[in-house]
Amino acid sequence: MATPVTMPQLGESVTEGTIARWLKAEGDEIEKDEPLAEVDTDKVNAELPSPVTGKIEKLLISEGATVDVGTEIALVTIAGESQTTEAPPREDEATETPTEEFPAADTEAQPVAAGDGTNQRAVVEARSEEARSDGDGRGEFESAETLKLKRSSPVVRRLAGEHGISIEEVPGTGAGGRVTKKDIEAYVEERETERETPAMAATIAAPGREPERERVPVYEGDRVVKLTSVRRAIANRMSSSKREAPHAWTMVEADVSGLVSLRERDKDEFAEREGIRLTYLPFIVKAVVEGLKMHPVLNSVWDGDRIVLRKRINIGVAVDLEDALIVPVILDADELTILGLARKIDDVVKRARNGQLSPDDVAGGTFTVNNPGALGSVVSVPIINHSQTAIVSAEAVVKRPVAVDDAIAVRSMINLEVSFDHRVMDGGAALRFLNTVKERLEDYGPESVIG
Amino acid sequence: MDVKGAQVRHESLGLDEDDLLRIYRHMLLARMVDERSWILNRQGKAAFVISCQGHEGAQVGTAYNLRPGHDYVYPYYRDAGITMLLGQSARDQFLSLLGKKEDPNSAGRQMPGHFSSRELNIVSASAPVGVQYPQAVGTALAFKMRGEDGMVLACGGEASTSSGDWHEAMNFAGIHDLPVVFLVENNVYAISVPEKMQVAGSIAKRAEGYGFPGVEVDGNDVLAVYEAAKEAFDRVRRGDGPSLIEAKTYRLTAHSSDDDDRRYREREEVEEWRLKDPIVRFEKYLEEAGVLDAEKKEEMAAGIKVEIDEAVEYAEGAPYADPEEALERVYAEG
Amino acid sequence: MATKNLLQAIHEGLAEEMRSDDSVMVLGEDVGKAGGVFRVTQGLQDEFGPLRVMDTPLAESLIVGSAIGLSVNGMRPVAEIQFADFIPPAFDQLVSEAARFYYRSNGAWKVPLTIRAPYGAVHGGALYHSQSVEAWFCNTPGLKVVAPTFPADAKGMLKSAIRDPNPVLFFEHKRTYRLIKEEVLEDDYEVPLGEARVHRQGTDLTVVSYGLMLYQALQVAQKLSEEHGIEAEVVEPRTLYPLDKETILDSVKKTGKFLAVSEANLTGSVSAEIAAIVAQEAFEWLDGPVMRLGAPDVPAAAFAKPMLDFFVPSAEKIEAAILELARY
C-alpha cells in the first residue's frame, strides 16, 4: 500500500502550488525530511520535504503543473509495505510544460470551486481554513461565512456567466466583501466603457470557465516568456489594487542633511559592531511608524461599508528581486529601535535575495514602504499593496541647491511620496502623515543617538 | 285492514290509483336499483354502495309532496328514493355509482349518494353529516325574503340531529318561521351506533323546543308518511313556518358496502324488521285496495328490471371524464 | 372623492352594492341594530330592513352555512364573522362546503358568498381578538382570500368580492380601520381580485407585506430612503389566495432580494408560501437569502401591552430586517 504525498499548504493563505522541479525520480529511495520537489507558490518558492521514508513509487504530477493544496502529488512505498500496482492516475490536465503559450488557467482536475465565483482575498483565507481543517478539505460542511465568500449568489453567477467575467476579479462591496449584484453590474458597465484594452484582464479563472481571450500575435524572433506563479500573483494583485482602490498621490520633500551627517558619522562603527550595513531605510521605516501612530487612518483596511483601523503596525518592506517584487513584513515595527529595524531589514532582505523567505514572512502587513531611491529613483508613484490603504515611497537622497532663509544652500534632500486609497481618506490626511514622517527625518542631526 | 278502509285512507289523502301506482313504482324502482348496486359492488364493478333499502316509504311518502324544480331539496346520501322521484333516472344512479363523466351529480368527482342537480334544485350533498341543515335554512330564508312560496326539504338520519349544525339550523328556522321541512329518517343505526347511544329523548319532541311542530310517524307506512308530510308541507306553504318529521324506519342493509353489520346487530332483529318492509306493507295495501295484483306486480318488476338492465349496460359502457378535467371548475368565472 | 378611513370605505362599498343589487344582503352577529361592533354596518338596517341586514344567533357555523344556502337560492350574502378568531366553528362550512360546491358539483352550483372578518393584533384584544388566521385558508382551492390594507382598495375589492361568483374571505385589519385614511372615489368602481399592488418602487430589495405591517413597512422604507439611501420596493399582494405571483416575481427579479413582513406566526404563514415561490421561480435573480419577518410561533398576541409589543414586529424590527438584507 503506497502512501500518498499531498501538496502541503505552504503559507497561511496559499491555496495551490506548482511543482517547479522534481528532486527525485520514480524508483528512488527517499528519507523523511529529504527534499522531494521544489514548489512555487505565489508567495514563496520552497522545497518540499518528504513526510515519510521509503521508495518513490510514482510521481503523479508533472513539472510545471499547478495543483490545489491537498492534491496527491506522489506515492511513496514505506519501507516494509508492499508495493501496489494501481496508483490512481491523478494527472491533472494542467498546463504541462508548454513554453509557447501563456498558461491559460489553473486547469486542475480538482473540481473544488477554484476561482469559481470567488473574491480573491477572502477565498484564499477560506481555502486555507478548509485545508487546515482536514488536509484535503472535503467531506465537511463549510460554514456559512466561508460559503458566502467562496460561492456567490445566483444572480451574480448568472451575470458573470453572461458577461464572461470571472467573479474573483470584481471588487466586492457586500457583507464580508462578497461580490453583490450591483458590484458586478458596475463592473460590467465600467468594462464596457473601456473596451479598448482586451485580453489582459486578470487571468485567475475557474477550470474550464476561462472566456476566450484574444491572443497577441507572436512573430518570428519574438520570445514568449511563461509566467511564473509569482509574476502572475503580482499581476493580479496589482490589477486588483488599482481597480478597487481609487489611487491618489502626493509628495513632500525633506531636508535630511542632518540624517546624512549622522549616518556618515556612525556607519563604519555600526557595520563593524553589528555586521550589517546602516542604510537610510531603518530611519525611514521608523519615521513612517511614528507617522502611522499619529495618523492611524493610513494603517487600515477598506471593508466595504466600513474601515478597519489595524492596531498592529506591520511594515512591509518592498524588496526588489531580479524579476519579481517581494514584500517581507516586519511585524510590530513600532516595537523596534533603529537598530532593531536595521537588523530585521537586513535579515529579510538577505533571505529574500536568497529565496529563503517563508510564507509567514510575507504575511500580515498593514502598511508598505517602498524604497526605489536605492536604485536612484527621485519620483515614483507606487501602487498600494492590495487590501492596504496606503504605501510610501522613499526616493534617493540627493544633494540639491535649495533656498534656506533666502540664501541658496546645498542640502541633502529626499522626496517622500504616499499613494493612498481615496475611499478611506483624503489628501489632507495623507499630507499630515507625510509631514510627520518628514519632521521625524528632519529631526535627525549629527548629535542624535541611534536608538 | 279491509278494502273499504283502505280506499278511504288514500282517498282521504287526495291520492287516486295512479298516484298509488306511481308511489309504488318509485319505491320498487329505488329498491331494485339498490339491489343491483350491491351486486355490482360484490362483482367488483362498483367501489361503494350506500343503501336506501328500508327507507323507501319514508322517502317516497315525503317527496311525493314536492314540486320538482320549484322547491329545493337537501337530500342525504341514502335518499335515492327522493332524487329519483324528483327526476333522476336509474341510468343516472348507475352513472353515479360507477363515477362516470355523465354522472349528473358530479361527473364522477364525488362518491355515490352525493346528489346534485341544478335543474331539479337538488343542492350538492356533502359527506360530513349535518352540514346541509344550516345551508337548507339559508335557502328557505331566501324564499321568505323574496316573498315566494318555494320551500325546502332537508333530510338526514337520526345521527345528523346530534350535530351542532342541526341545532343551529333548527333554532334559526324557529326564530324566523322559515319555509323548511326537516325530515329525519330514523333508521335506528348510525353505522354501528344504535339509537339509544345517539339520541337523548325524542327527536320529534325537540321541535317544540325550537318553536314549531314535530311529529313521529311510522316511516315504513308510506301513506302515513305521506299524510304527515302533506300536513307539514301545507303548513309551510301557508307561511306558518317549519316542521319536523321523524320517520321511524330501519336500515335493512349494512351502513354501506364497506360495513359488516354482523359485528353489531343480530340477524333476528333485521328479520323482524323485514316483516315490516315498507314495500311489502304497501303491496299488501294495494292488493287490498284492488290496485295491484300478482300479474301487475310482476309486470312492473319486469319493466323495472329492463330499465335497470339497460341503465347498467349504458353506465358500464360510458366513459370516465378525462383525468385533466380534475383541474377544471375550481373557480366559477364571471 | 372624499377622505375615508378603511372602515368608512368598506361601509360605503357595502351600502352601494346593497343599493344597486337587491340580492345583496348582510348577516352576522350584532350587524343589524347595533351596526356591527366596529360600526362597519351602521345605518344599513335602517335603510334596508331587518331581513336584508340580519342579526343572527351566536352560531358561526349557521352564519356561514345559511349564507351558502342563501347564495344557492338567488341571494348574494355578505356574512360577517365578528372576529377572525371566531371563524373556527364555521371552518367546515367555509372550507369543506362553500369552497367545494362548485367543484364537487362539476360546476352546477355557484356560491357567490362574501365573508368579512376583522383580524390582527390590537391592544387589549389578546389571544381571541388578535389572530392572523389567513394561513388556515390559503391552501383551499375554490376559496378566495383577500386582505386589502388601504381604503380605496378595500372598497373596490369588496365590490369585486360581492360580485364574484365564488366564496371570498375578506379580511380587514382592525387596527387600521381608523388609522389609514385616503381619498376614495365616491362612485362605483371595482378593484379586481387576484392582483397585487406595488406601493413604492425601489431597486435594493422587495418587501411584501399586508395589513398594519404594510403600513409600517412603507413608513420604514421612506425613512431608510432618506437616511441611508436604501430604496425598498414595497409590494402588497392584496389577494392572498390565489396569489398574484407575477407582480411579486417581477419585483424580486428587479431587486434581487426578498423580505416578507407579516404579523402572523412565522411558521406555515402566507409569507412562507410566497418565499417558497420566490426561491423556486426567481432563483437565478437572487442576490441574497429569501427572508421572512413574522410573529414568534406562540398562540397569538397577549393581553399585556409589553407582550403584545414583543409579539407584533415593530417598526424597529422591520427596519433592522430591511437594513440587514439590503447590506448583504
DSSP code per residue over A43-54 = S-EEEEE-SS-E
CATH of the domain at B275: 3.40.50.970
Do you know the residue count of chain C? 328
CATH of the domain at C108: 3.40.50.970
**C118 and C205 together in one domain:** no
* Residues in C lying within 8 Å of B, measured between beta carbons: 25, 51-52, 56-57, 59, 61-62, 64-75, 77, 89, 92-93, 96-97, 100-110, 141-142, 144, 165-166
Using an 8 Å CB-CB cutoff, list chain A residues near C287.
Answer: 153-156, 180-181
Q: Do B330 and C71 touch (CB under 8 A)?
A: no
Say if strands C258-265 and C291-295 run parallel, antiparallel, or are unpaired: parallel
DSSP code per residue over B62-121 = HHTT--TTTSEEE--TTTHHHHHHHT--HHHHHHHHTT-TT-TTTTTSS-TT---BTTTT
CB-closest option in A154, A174, A305 to C283: A154
Using an 8 Å CB-CB cutoff, list chain B residues near C100.
Answer: 126
Does C190 map to a domain?
no
Q: Where residue B213 falls among pLDDT bands split at 50, 70, 90?
A: very high
Q: Do C287 and A158 touch (CB under 8 A)?
A: no
Q: Do B134 and C74 touch (CB under 8 A)?
A: no
* Residues in C lying within 8 Å of A, measured between beta carbons: 256, 283-288, 327-328
**C22 and C143 together in one domain:** yes
**C215 and C243 together in one domain:** yes
**Residue A89 pLDDT:** 42
Q: Do A180 and C328 touch (CB under 8 A)?
A: yes
Q: Do B142 and C165 touch (CB under 8 A)?
A: no
Structural domains in chain C (count): 2
Q: Do C65 and B168 touch (CB under 8 A)?
A: yes
**Residue A92 pLDDT:** 41
Distance from C-alpha of A31 to C-alpha of A49, rounded to nearest angstrom: 9
Q: Do B171 and C59 touch (CB under 8 A)?
A: yes
Which residues lie across from A70 on neighbouring strands?
Answer: none
**Residue A10 pLDDT:** 67
Q: Return the amino acid letter for A48.
A: L
**Residue A82 pLDDT:** 54
**Residue A178 pLDDT:** 84
Using an 8 Å CB-CB cutoff, list chain A residues near C285.
Answer: 154-155, 158
Q: Do A154 and C328 touch (CB under 8 A)?
A: no
**Do B and A make contact, counting contact as 3+ CB pairs within 8 angstroms?**
no
Q: Does domain A120-213 have CATH number 4.10.320.10?
A: yes
A337 alpha carbon, distance to own chain's centre: 26
**Residue A100 pLDDT:** 34
Reduce the DSSP state of residue C304 to 3 states and report it.
coil
The domain boundary residue, chosen from C144, C159, C184 = C184
A122 alpha carbon, distance to own chain's centre: 14
Reduce the DSSP state of residue B189 to 3 states and report it.
strand
**Residue B3 pLDDT:** 52
C-alpha cell at A390: 496606503
Name the DSSP class of A225.
-
User: In CATH, which superfamily holds the domain spanning A248-443?
Assistant: Chloramphenicol acetyltransferase-like domain (3.30.559.10)
**Residue A88 pLDDT:** 43
**C159 and C237 together in one domain:** no
Q: How many helices (H) and strands (E) does chain A have?
A: 9, 18
Q: For residue B227, give the H/E element and its range.
A: helix B222-237
Reduce the DSSP state of residue B175 to 3 states and report it.
helix
The predicted model scores a pTM of: 0.66
- E-strand spans in B115-258? 152-157, 180-186, 189-190, 193-194, 214-218, 243-248
Question: Are A440 and A288 a contacting pair, CB within 8 Å?
Answer: no
What are the extents of the domains in chain A?
A: 3-78, 120-213, 248-443
Is A305 among the residues known to form the active site? Answer: no
Q: How distant is the Cα of C190 from the closest Cα of chain B, in angstroms?
A: 14
**C248 and C290 together in one domain:** yes
Which residues lie across from B157 on neighbouring strands?
Answer: B185
Q: How distant is the Cα of C211 from the closest Cα of chain B, in angstroms?
A: 26
ipTM: 0.91
Distance from C-alpha of B114 to C-alpha of A242, rounded to nearest angstrom: 78
Using an 8 Å CB-CB cutoff, list chain C residues near B141.
Answer: 51, 66, 69-70
**Residue A231 pLDDT:** 83
Which residues lie across from B189 on neighbouring strands?
Answer: B194
Does C73 map to a domain?
yes
Domain A3-78, CATH: 2.40.50.100
Name the DSSP class of A151.
S
Question: Are A105 and A131 a contacting pair, CB within 8 Å?
Answer: no
C-alpha cell at A404: 534656506
Look at residues B115, B27, B23 and name the one whose alpha carbon lies nearest to residue B74: B115
Q: Where residue B221 falls among pLDDT bands split at 50, 70, 90?
A: very high
**C211 and C292 together in one domain:** yes
- What number is the average pLDDT over the span C253-259? 96
Look at residues A345, A327, A318, A338 and name the one whose alpha carbon lies nearest to residue A441: A338
Distance from C-alpha of C80 to C-alpha of C70, rounded to nearest angstrom: 14
Q: For residue A420, give the H/E element and its range.
A: strand A407-421
A–C: how many Cβ contacts below 8 A?
27
B–C: how many Cβ contacts below 8 A?
136
- Tens of pLDDT, residue by residue over C164-180, are 999 999 999 999 999 99
Picking from C25, C62, C76, C109 by the largest number of B CB atoms within 10 A of its own CB, the best residue to mutate is C62
DSSP code per residue over C191-219 = --TT--EEEE--SSEEEEE-THHHHHHHH
**Residue A148 pLDDT:** 64
**Residue B191 pLDDT:** 94
Distance from C-alpha of B182 to C-alpha of B225, rounded to nearest angstrom: 13
Using CA atoms in the order A150, A152, A156, A159, what is the torsion angle rounded to 10 degrees?
60
C-alpha cell at A76: 511513496
Is residue C37 packed enough to be buried (19+ CB in 10 Å), middle (13-18) or exposed (0-12)? middle
Q: Do C284 and A158 touch (CB under 8 A)?
A: yes
Looking at the complex, does the CB of residue A174 fall below 8 Å from at least one CB of chain C? yes
Q: For residue C51, give the H/E element and its range.
A: helix C44-52
Q: How many helices (H) and strands (E) does chain B have?
A: 13, 7
C-alpha cell at A83: 508495493
- What number is the average pLDDT over the span C180-206? 96
Q: Do B169 and C103 touch (CB under 8 A)?
A: no
**C175 and C216 together in one domain:** no
The sign one gets for the Cα dihedral C263, C267, C270, C275 is positive
Q: For residue C117, give the H/E element and its range.
A: strand C114-119
**C66 and C201 together in one domain:** no
Does B325 map to a domain?
no
**C307 and C210 together in one domain:** yes
**C125 and C239 together in one domain:** no
- Tens of pLDDT, residue by residue over B52-97, are 999 999 999 999 999 999 999 999 999 999 999 999 999 999 999 9
Q: Do C256 and A175 touch (CB under 8 A)?
A: no
Which residues lie across from C84 on neighbouring strands?
Answer: none
Structural domains in chain B (count): 1
How many Å from the N-terminal Cα to the C-terminal Cα in chain A?
60
The answer to whether residue B2 scores a pLDDT higher than 70 is: no
Does C192 map to a domain?
no
Look at residues A406, A416, A418, A281 and name the one whose alpha carbon lies nearest to residue A339: A281
CB-closest option in C70, C96, C165 to B138: C70
Does C133 map to a domain?
yes
Which residues of B are designated catalytic? 251, 255, 264
Q: How distant is the Cα of A306 from the closest Cα of chain C, in angstroms?
A: 12
What is the domain extent for residue C75?
2-184
Task: Identify the weakest region by mean pLDDT among A71-80, A116-125, B278-287, C60-69.
Answer: A116-125
Residue C72, C-beta contacts closer than 8 angstroms, at least 6 positions apart: B72, B123, B135, B139, C101, C109, C110, C111
Look at residues C196, C201, C203 and name the one whose alpha carbon lies nearest to residue C287: C203
Say if strands A315-317 and A329-330 run parallel, antiparallel, or are unpaired: antiparallel
> Which residue shows C-alpha cell 429569501?
C290
Using an 8 Å CB-CB cutoff, list chain C residues near A180.
Answer: 287, 328
Look at residues B4, B75, B18, B13 and name the one whose alpha carbon lies nearest to residue B221: B13
- The overall longest dimension of chain B from CA atoms, in Å, is 62
Question: Are A369 and A317 a contacting pair, CB within 8 Å?
Answer: yes
The domain boundary residue, chosen from C162, C184, C206 = C184
Does C38 map to a domain?
yes
CB-closest option in C256, C285, C327 to A175: C327
CATH of the domain at C298: 3.40.50.920
**C256 and C147 together in one domain:** no
Does B251 map to a domain?
yes
Q: State residue C227 phi and psi, 5-degree precision.
A: -90, -30
Does B66 map to a domain?
yes
The sign one gets for the Cα dihedral B294, B295, B299, B302 is positive
Mean pLDDT of chain C: 97
Is A426 among the residues known to form the active site? Answer: yes
- What number is the average pLDDT over the span C131-141? 97
Mutual orientation of helices A281-294 and A338-353 as an angle, nearest 10°? 120
Those chains having 3 or more beta-carbon pairs within 8 angstroms of chain C are A, B
Those chains having 3 or more beta-carbon pairs within 8 angstroms of chain A are C
How many Å from the N-terminal Cα to the C-terminal Cα in chain B?
60
List per-block mean pLDDT (blocks of 10 residues) for chain A, which spans 451 residues: 79 73 90 83 73 88 85 84 47 39 34 37 42 46 66 87 84 83 88 60 42 77 83 87 94 96 91 91 96 95 91 93 87 92 92 85 92 94 93 96 93 96 95 96 85 62
Q: Do B145 and C105 touch (CB under 8 A)?
A: no
Using an 8 Å CB-CB cutoff, list chain C residues near A305.
Answer: 327
Question: Are A259 and A283 a contacting pair, CB within 8 Å?
Answer: yes
- Nearest residue in chain B measured CA to CA from C242: B331
Q: How distant is the Cα of B268 from the closest Cα of chain C, in angstroms?
A: 39
Q: How distant is the Cα of B57 from the closest Cα of chain C, in angstroms?
A: 27
Looking at the complex, does the CB of residue A145 fall below 8 Å from at least one CB of chain C? no
Q: How distant is the Cα of C83 from the closest Cα of chain B, in angstroms?
A: 19
The answer to whether residue B130 scores a pLDDT higher than 90 is: yes
What is the domain extent for residue B12?
3-318
Q: Do A158 and C256 touch (CB under 8 A)?
A: no
The domain boundary residue, chosen from C184, C218, C251 = C184
Does C191 map to a domain?
no
Question: Are A58 and A26 a contacting pair, CB within 8 Å?
Answer: yes
**Residue A87 pLDDT:** 43
Using an 8 Å CB-CB cutoff, list chain B residues near C69.
Answer: 123, 134-142, 152
**Do C and B make contact, counting contact as 3+ CB pairs within 8 angstroms?**
yes
> Which residue shows C-alpha cell 347595533?
C34
Distance from C-alpha of A86 to C-alpha of C180, rounded to nearest angstrom: 77
- Nearest residue in chain B measured CA to CA from C101: B124
Q: State residue B313 phi and psi, 5-degree precision.
A: -60, -45
Contacts 24+ apart (CB under 8 A), A84-88: A84/A1, A84/A2, A84/A57, A87/A2, A87/A57, A87/A58, A87/A60, A88/A60
- Tens of pLDDT, residue by residue over A207-230, are 444 456 778 888 888 888 888 877
Does C189 map to a domain?
no
Residue A268, C-beta contacts closer than 8 angstroms, at least 6 positions apart: none
For chain A, the helix, strand and coil percentages under 3-state DSSP, each to the nearest 5 = 30, 20, 45
Residue A102, C-beta contacts closer than 8 angstroms, at least 6 positions apart: A203, A224, A226, A227
Name the DSSP class of A196.
T
Looking at the complex, does the CB of residue A305 fall below 8 Å from at least one CB of chain C? yes
Q: How many helices (H) and strands (E) does chain C have?
A: 12, 14
**C95 and C217 together in one domain:** no
Does B60 map to a domain?
yes
Distance from C-alpha of C171 to C-alpha of C149, rounded to nearest angstrom: 9
